[in-house]
Amino acid sequence: MYHTKGQTLHLTSSQYNMTRVINALARIVKREGGAVQSEEPFYIVNRHLNGDIVCVKHSTYLSFTLDGMYYYYQFDENPFFPFYYIKTAVFDGKRDKDACLMECNKEWLRDELFSFRASEYIIRNCARILFNSLVTAKPSVIRRDTKRVVTTVTAPQRLEKITF
């Protein structure tokens, strides 16, 4: 979901509610002592209701660090497509750029998120389930080999500094 600072996005009910879940997840991470990469604030409104305008800082993905691990989570705007995560260790404030996206379970995805009004309780509960599944998820596969026609070439470790 592309947006600019201060822009108002008119989202479907599922996009609106899942964006609220991602922002609730960011609050949980901060409460648990993690650091969250923040985007520029923007506004969302459920286009089916034209009601409450909510100011948020995260759209369809979230990057954060917690307990020496770097996490990246993204959901697809179409909930029938896979959702992905990255979980990799942090080394001296850097993460491994070769960590692969892993398919994430959708146990947090509830029918209520597709309705016009999902309660704040449902949003927080879904975010808590998502948080627990990310923390207990297995770390991402690190892929440094590039396959050529006959040989495999091993690339050196590539690290990226975490700036949040």
The domain limits of the chain are: 8-161
Distance, in Å, from the CA atom of 101 to the CA atom of 129, rounded to the nearest integer, reads 20
Q: Cα–chain-centroid distance for residue 99?
A: 15
pLDDT in tens, 105-135: 888 888 888 888 789 999 999 999 999 999 9
pTM: 0.87
pLDDT given for residue 117 in this prediction: 75
Beta strand extents in the chain (DSSP E only): 8-11, 35-36, 42-46, 53-56, 61-66, 69-74, 83-91, 94-96, 102-104, 145-147, 152-154, 159-161
| Polymer length of the chain | 164
pLDDT in tens, 66-102: 999 999 999 887 878 889 999 999 999 999 998 999 9
